[in-house]
């Protein structure tokens, strides 16, 4: 073979070899990137589902604890009806009694593994006495149905299929069996492929996530790129054959350089470059090679950076949502993640203040004034909240005009949100707004940014809802469900705290122990429903006669306690007289008649009658016994104090409350806790 033939052959080998290698590399890279994206989506979906089911199990456990707190089954069933009415659970089982419309058993427990069919997700709590003996149990359940699975799929961003239990799935149709079969064929957390064209991940039950699931996403490989690569290789071959004879006469140096660079690229060195020595075909080939490797290198770098950034932001967001109930911190992380994901210059998260019908900023980034307050219905943010519709665009072109209180910008995107348990008939339809301003490097926000912001607004809605559910659970655990007063559990903590405060500042604390006289006769004569009505009305009158800073508690049964900060024995007697007159003066209406009741009161003062909260409570209790022994419907001050005991001054029947300047406000938040065992009087 002649030198020209050899050079032509060598040229063709050098040109077509790198072209083929490049095409194979690009095709393999695209396929690998597509699979990596699908795997990442499945990883994120698995993490999201574990967090979502874990949060639901924690919520059910909190609800079960709240239902188990009352002392009697009737009270527990009342609390069970309340939590079901609030949407915190679908069914409650209390000591063999199941609430109406409960899903059929079996229920799968959050703490165990699923075996066989099931209809609901449940948490079981045992009730034990002080000696550890079993008193009963409470089981709280949430229905596992198509709506439940659809919510999991929406949160995870992937199709979700139950491998056991009800045959619910999302987005799959007839391919459900293929997905389940593929999931059974792999170990937990491994990835498999199923027909037609889906990646499947098996998610086994674990503590806090007992559901056997299969997650799947469609393959997204761009099939057309392979045809383009084949066409490009064929075209390069034709051009090489046509130019081979003329190029073979030139120096072999550019070919050698191109060959060495191709070898480096084949070894994974995307930084390889070929010097362009002329404007001929070899020079253009070298330039094209350099451009291809440069663009491929930039693409790989951008893809790696984007993947790492997304993983970091999702990790921070997931950790924050699962580890704290600090709403400000959660919203701040959501805002920062939204800014990083969209490239916005500034942003703000606002929540609705129902009292003023105003949006108030909870956190802001990149704004000169973070104290943003916007009336609902006015300006950009107020319009989004009032209509419940997202807006994006430019202020000078699309409007609406900005208020002076709003951040001034050129471009914007704003999305409303409302928590899932807040209802669909809100007015306005949004409880908050997430807004971003002035995207860096681009003129306007696009539809992709709007979709991204909707996702983060959904996270903000879940955060607001979770915090409110947490606060509601705390409220239910500290108050009495019948009277609305603080319960015995909160009494122990409050008296300790108030004694410490009084000791620190050298003040006094008056404690009133109250007991309705002959309350058992009310129950025996009129029934327990009348007794409940008497207790409720008595609690209302107590709240009306004490100050806002005073604390009223239901200690148990017909026993109550009132804490009067910065009050001495004389002040305590004034309040006792007023309470006695308020109860005695007006019989409590019930049915077609009324029930006359009276109250006996014991008074003790810190530090005159005790130096600890328990001592002061015991002194007030002893004084209450003294009032009972004195004929009831009166009060007594504890004996044995440092100061002379005030004389008992009974208030005549029908007397008006004393005319003094004590404020007349007070009350407590609702909640429940088992009352302390009472002694009969």
CA–CA separation, 575 and 550 (whole Å)? 11
CA–CA separation, 535 and 541 (whole Å)? 10
For the segment 374-405, what is each residue's pLDDT rounded down to a tens digit?
A: 888 888 888 888 888 888 888 888 878 888 88
Is the predicted pLDDT of residue 311 greater than 60, yes or no?
Answer: yes
Mean pLDDT of 280-285: 79
Is the predicted pLDDT of residue 109 greater than 60, yes or no?
Answer: yes
pLDDT tier at 668 (50, 70, 90 boundaries)? very low
Mean pLDDT of 316-335: 70
593 Cβ partners below 8 Å, 6+ apart?
Answer: none
Specify the DSSP element, H or E, that contains 579: helix 569-585
Is the predicted pLDDT of residue 100 greater than 80, yes or no?
Answer: yes
pTM for this one?
0.38
DSSP state of 174: G
For the segment 462-517, what is each residue's pLDDT rounded down to a tens digit?
A: 777 777 777 677 677 778 888 889 888 889 889 999 999 999 999 999 999 999 99
DSSP state of 479: B
Is the predicted pLDDT of residue 627 greater than 90, yes or no?
Answer: yes
Which residues of the chain does CATH 3.30.70.270 include? 488-637
For the segment 519-533, what is each residue's pLDDT rounded down to a tens digit?
A: 999 999 889 999 999
CA–CA separation, 260 and 343 (whole Å)? 40
Mean pLDDT of 117-142: 83
Give the distance from CA 83 to its chain's centroid. Answer: 18
Which residues of the chain does CATH 3.30.450.40 include? 343-458
β-bridge mates for residue 560, sequence order: 514, 554
Specify the DSSP element, H or E, that contains 439: strand 432-439
Lowest-pLDDT range, 290-299, 416-425, 651-660? Answer: 651-660
CA–CA separation, 291 and 294 (whole Å)? 5
Lowest-pLDDT range, 275-279, 433-437, 587-591? Answer: 275-279
Nearest Cα neighbor of 467 from 330, 346, 344, 361 is 330
The pLDDT score that the predictor gives to residue 596 is 92
More reliable by pLDDT, 78 or 117:
78
Tokens 């009472």 correspond to 678
DSSP state of 401: P
What is the SS3 assignment for 674? coil
CATH H superfamily, domain 488-637? Reverse transcriptase/Diguanylate cyclase domain (3.30.70.270)
Highest-scoring range by mean pLDDT, 216-225, 334-343, 547-556: 547-556
pLDDT tier at 249 (50, 70, 90 boundaries)? low
CA–CA separation, 618 and 467 (whole Å)? 38
The pLDDT score that the predictor gives to residue 226 is 64
User: Strand locations in 444-598, DSSP E?
Assistant: 509-516, 551-556, 559-565, 588-590, 593-595
Helices (H), 343-486: 379-387, 395-398, 447-478
CA–CA separation, 368 and 288 (whole Å)? 48
CATH 3.10.20.600 fits 343-458, yes or no: no
């Amino acid at each position: 073979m002649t030198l020209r033939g050899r050079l032509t052959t060598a040229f063709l080998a050098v040109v077509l070899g790198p072209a083929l290698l490049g095409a194979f590399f690009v095709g393999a890279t695209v396929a690998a990137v597509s699979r990596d994206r699908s795997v990442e989506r499945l990883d994120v979906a698995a993490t999201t589902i574990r967090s979502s089911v874990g949060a639901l199990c924690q919520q059910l456990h909190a609800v079960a604890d709240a239902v188990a707190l009352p002392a009697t089954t009737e009270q527990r069933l009342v609390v069970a009806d309340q939590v079901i009415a609030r949407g915190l659970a679908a069914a409650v089982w209390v000591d063999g009694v199941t609430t109406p419309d409960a899903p059929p058993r079996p229920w799968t427990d959050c703490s165990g593994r699923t075996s066989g069919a099931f209809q609901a997700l449940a948490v079981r709590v045992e009730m034990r006495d002080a000696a550890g003996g079993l008193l009963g149990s409470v089981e709280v359940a949430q229905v596992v149905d198509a709506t439940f699975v659809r919510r999991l799929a929406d949160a995870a961003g992937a199709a979700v299929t139950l491998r056991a239990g009800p045959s619910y799935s999302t987005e799959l149709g007839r391919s459900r069996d293929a997905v389940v079969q593929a999931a059974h064929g792999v170990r937990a957390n491994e990835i498999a492929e199923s027909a037609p064209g889906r990646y499947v991940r098996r998610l086994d039950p674990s503590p806090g996530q007992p559901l056997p699931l299969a997650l799947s996403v469609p393959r997204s490989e761009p099939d057309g790129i392979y045809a383009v690569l084949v066409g490009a290789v064929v075209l390069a071959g034709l051009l090489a054959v046509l130019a081979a004879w003329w190029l073979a006469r030139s120096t072999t140096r550019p070919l050698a350089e191109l060959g060495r660079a191709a070898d480096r690229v084949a070894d994974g060195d995307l930084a390889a470059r070929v010097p362009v020595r002329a404007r001929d075909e070899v020079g253009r080939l070298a330039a094209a090679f350099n451009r291809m490797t440069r663009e491929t290198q930039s693409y790989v770098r951008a893809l790696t950076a984007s993947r790492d950034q997304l993983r970091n932001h999702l990790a921070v967001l997931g950790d924050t949502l699962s580890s704290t109930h600090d709403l400000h911190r959660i919203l701040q992380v959501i805002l920062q993640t939204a800014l990083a994901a969209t490239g916005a210059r500034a942003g703000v998260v606002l929540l609705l203040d129902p009292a003023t019908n105003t949006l108030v900023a909870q956190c802001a980034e990149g704004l000169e004034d973070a104290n943003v307050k916007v009336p609902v219905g006015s300006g950009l943010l107020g319009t989004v909240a009032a209509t419940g519709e997202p807006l994006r665009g430019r202020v000078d072109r699309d409007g609406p005009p900005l208020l002076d209180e709003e951040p001034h910008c050129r471009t914007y995107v704003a999305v409303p949100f409302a928590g899932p348990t807040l209802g669909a008939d809100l007015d306005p339809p949004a409880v908050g707004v997430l807004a971003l301003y002035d995207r860096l490097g681009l003129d306007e926000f696009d539809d992709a940014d709007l979709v991204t912001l909707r996702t983060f607004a959904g996270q903000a809605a879940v955060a607001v809802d979770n915090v409110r559910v947490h606060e509601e659970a705390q409220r239910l655990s500290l108050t009495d469900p019948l009277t609305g007063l603080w319960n015995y559990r909160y009494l122990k903590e409050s008296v300790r705290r108030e004694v410490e405060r009084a000791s620190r500042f050298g003040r006094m604390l008056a404690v009133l122990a109250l007991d309705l006289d002959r309350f058992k006769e009310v129950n025996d004569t009129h029934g327990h429903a009348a007794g409940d009505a008497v207790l409720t009305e008595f609690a209302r009158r107590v709240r009306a006669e004490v100050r806002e800073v005073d604390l009223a508690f239901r200690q148990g049964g017909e026993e109550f306690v009132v804490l009067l900060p910065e009050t001495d024995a004389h002040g305590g007697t004034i309040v006792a007289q007023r309470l006695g007159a308020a109860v005695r003066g007006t019989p409590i209406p019930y049915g077609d008649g009324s029930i006359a009741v009276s109250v006996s009161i014991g008074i003790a003062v810190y530090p005159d009658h005790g130096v600890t909260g328990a001592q002061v409570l015991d002194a007030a209790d002893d004084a209450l016994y003294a009032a009972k022994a004195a004929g009831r419907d009166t009060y007594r001050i504890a004996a044995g104090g440092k100061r002379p005991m005030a004389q008992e001054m009974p208030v005549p029947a029908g007397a008006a409350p004393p005319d003094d300047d004590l404020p007349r406000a007070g009350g407590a938040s609702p909640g429940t806790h088992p009352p302390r065992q009472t002694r009969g009087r």
